Structure 1
Amino acid sequence: MGKASSVVTMADVARFAGVSTMTVSNVINGRPRVGPETRERVLAAIGELGYQVNLAARHLRAGRTGVVGLAVPELERPYFGQLAGRLADRFEAHGLRVVTERTGASREGELDAVAFSRLRMYDGLILSVVDLDPAELGQLRTDAPVVMIGERALPSRFDHVMMDNVDGSRQAVAQLLAHGARRVAMIGGDLSGSATMPALRAAGYVAAHADAGVPVDPELNIRCSFGLQDGYDAIRALRERGITFDAVFALTDVVAMGALRALADAGLRVPDDIQVVGFDDIDEAAYLVPALSTVNPGHDTMADAITSFLMAQLNGTPNATPQELIVPAQLVLRGTTK
């Protein structure tokens, strides 16, 4: 079996195949300077000896580690897992791997992600911003390539890609109101007017009501977190309080999934008795029964833009000024709406 049990070098492969180390290097890197018979001999030697290319060493010689960091608030939410998958596919095409870490949606976690990105040997960092404010972003000391993603506008020196939370929510709630709903429960919203995701999506909820001339009843908003149980408990709370509603706007698809189960347990039919719309268009949404109507925030466009912005920085051709891209949202109608 040759030398599979010890460290095999390129020189070992060259000796085994009876060629130069340069020829082995040409084969490994796919250069067209090697004849077919020689190439086959080198590949056979690689297989026989168990030689493995040291990608880390190769990247370090080029001043790179070959790794991009993705720092997100949580790993449990399907949205972030699917975002990581989309980005992994795109960066893999550039010979880069994506490593994901969790910030806990906290200021400290987000600052640490930037501060330690070099120590973790990332070539660049994609940071989902939840708790940092513009002043703190402006004071971050890093010369590493960074692209921000998040829910709200954050003027800073970094490129920033974000979804259109307000318009996406407006589209969702407008659909409900246009098809007979007059008391739309909002699960997870924040009517305070701040710049957080719950407040931005609530702003779209309010805007849709204003457009339709339907007053907003604050009792229909249930503040909660964004797990399955939260959506379930919110529906139960509305019913226990005797608050009537004929539609549900859930701030995430996961919350909507919990709400759907609670409605089913209460004997309510969707969409005949209660219409439901979510937000995020996670992969699971299309496979629920009934399939969930939801807002697609522009997954592919966002992933393409994030990749483009970061690769431009990595290749030394960054934008002359930091770019802020708001990706349009699109309502996807399925079986939970009329």
Structure 2
Amino acid sequence: MKSQFQILSFLSQYQPKTDADRDMITGFIEKRCRITPKTIIFSPEHTDNIIDAQSFLQWYENGYGASEIAKYHTLVILGNCTTESATIVGALNEDKIDTAHIQISTNELEKVSEQDTQKFQLLLLSHNLQFNPDSMSLEAKYIPALNEKILFHNYDYSIKGIGIVRNIYPDNYDVELYCYFIYPSKNENGDPIKGSVGYSMHERNIVNLKGYIFEPLLEDEKRFSSDDGISAYRRLKRELEKENKIWKDKIRRIEPVNMRAEKGGKYWYINDKMKVVQEIDKYTPTSQMRYLCGNYFINYDAAVEMLGKFNELIRDYLASKEWPKL
């Protein structure tokens, strides 16, 4: 089975044999991919490469696609692929990865296991390499910085999303996100898969350095995807708003859309004597600071519960064998 990226990159090298083949292939893609009427499917220029529906289906079921890990004497990663040939853009050579482009017959390739695929992805990471779908080649891997807004994709581009990086864990390559949105897609049967959104401030096991490619969301010169970074960021914020949440970039916090009371409204805060106190929000600097610090509650019971959690943390700290260290 192939991802949308692999299908479109494959067909961009071909013209359909007949109008009927065009209709059948296009109908197949529309069922299995989330494409728009403006999506360019076949080569926009004249080409001698012709494909019919049957050949396309055979490739879809058993052929090789761009970014796929395969075996050619050793583990390799593929660039452009047709029904008859494939371009190797990276090959394991002892403990190194050669990045020279070599075109071979697809008959010389073998499929590999998921274990071998993960092994090669780990080797790419150790050599600081990633697959660039624009140039169909390997390039230096982009490692996101903490607090950076990013686009992310898995290797066959069947998963695509937006996120904001909180932390990176070198021991297991996990990338922790403050929040994220993964775009809707379709499974191999053409059934829709809903998009997903997360905003816990500690989103783990969503993406990792080994199996995903990262791009800076708001730095066009460093991003090889055709996506509009600003539009993508707006999409993330819209998806959060559907959950009644908002990302506050300056203070790096997810909060409710209407966290603050209207001017003249009541709120509660915890004072320096660890007591819950009611106040009227007159939009003074003091109230603004409490809001920014998160010491601001429009519900009395929530303020009391948070005070209890603070007290429990302090008791645990004082009882710790590591005191006065935390």
Same fold (TM over 0.5): no
The structure carrying a bigger helix percent of its residues is 1
Higher-RCO chain (CA-CA 8 Å, sequence separation at least 6): 1
Give the structure-1-normalised TM-score: 0.25
